[in-house]
Structure 1
Amino acid sequence: MNRYEAIGAIETFGLVFVLEAADAMCKAADVELVGYENVASGYISVIVKGDIAACNTAVETGVKAVNDMGAEVYSSMVIASPHQDLEKIISRYSLTELLPPQEEVI
């Protein structure tokens, strides 16, 4: 299992706002977009991983992007040095788990 230094997440209301947050997060710092989850009743969370400083920058930038659109961030967080068992939860939201396998084009 790959080990990374931190995970960051933002939860807001609506797909448009979470897309804006994810875009801002990935552009602001060297983080990998893990995936997203439609939590309930329109609330959606987006998760990134990377080093601690990058995750902090990404989450701060994502929160600002959502706020700049006039929306509200329900919650946000960065976990430094997450326990390896959190991978069991995070892998559930992985975009690679959600996408069908791609055929190799030769």
Structure 2
Amino acid sequence: MKRAMGLLELKNITQGILAADAMLKAANVEIILAQAMCPGKYVVMVAGDVGAVQSAVRSGKVVGGTENVVDEFVLPNLHDSVLPAISGCTEVKKLSALGVIESYSIASAIVAADTAAKAAAIELLEVRLARGMGGKAVVTLTGDVGAVKAAVRAGSNAIKESGFLVDQLVLAAPHQQLSTLVF
């Protein structure tokens, strides 16, 4: 059985807490994250079997009110490097080419990170979620130039149609001091 991750990003905190409760009651899922984010959004992230995660996200969306949902996803086979990048636990061994994907939503940034990690042999550095960024989220990654270009393109394309893509960047040879500033 594959483990899946699901996320609801809501416009307000009270409805987010209500949705989190409904998600946990609806299915056998583990809560990974449930907290307020800038600018007053609430994010609920759960993990479990695919069907359970789908059920939890559906229930949370109904109870929290579809009009309150900013973005959402269910990823049935999350890449192993995404959770450590969200947690900020990725060790940077060497900064090679640098790729950045900037998004207006937390959910779309995680989808972009997962897609990028599956598209090319890159290392996810961080998936920074909305804190101090006005609700935006940023994915940073590194690797050889060709892989970084392919990963950034794939990750950006995965969220482009949603309207949440802000911008993307590939620096072929970033200055090494950027490693202390970017992540």
TM-score by length of 2: 0.46
Structure 2 gaps, min length 5? 1-91
2:141 is matched with which residue: 32, 48, 56?
48
* Counterpart-to-counterpart distance in 2, 1:2 and 1:32: 10
Note if 1:21 corresponds to 2:112: yes
Q: Could you list the per-position Cα deviations for residues 46-82 of structure 1 after superposition, in whole angstroms to 9, with x for gaps in the alignment?
A: 10110000000000001100024x2331111000111
1:87 — aligned with what? 179
* Counterpart-to-counterpart distance in 1, 2:142 and 2:94: 10
Q: How does 1:58-97 map to 2 (within 5 A)?
A: 58-68=151-161, 70-90=162-182, 93=183
Note if 1:34 corresponds to 2:154: no
Q: CA deviation at 1:2?
A: 4.1
Larger RCO, structure (CA 8 Å, separation 6 or more) = 1
Aligned-residue RMSD, C-alpha: 1.6
**One-letter amino acid of the counterpart of residue 118, structure 2:** K
2:102 — aligned with what? 11
Percent same amino acid at aligned positions?
Answer: 30
**Bigger Cα Rg:** 2
2:150 — aligned with what? 57
- Paired residues in the alignment total 90
**Is the CA contact (8 Å cut-off) linking 1:4 and 1:51 kept in structure 2?**
no
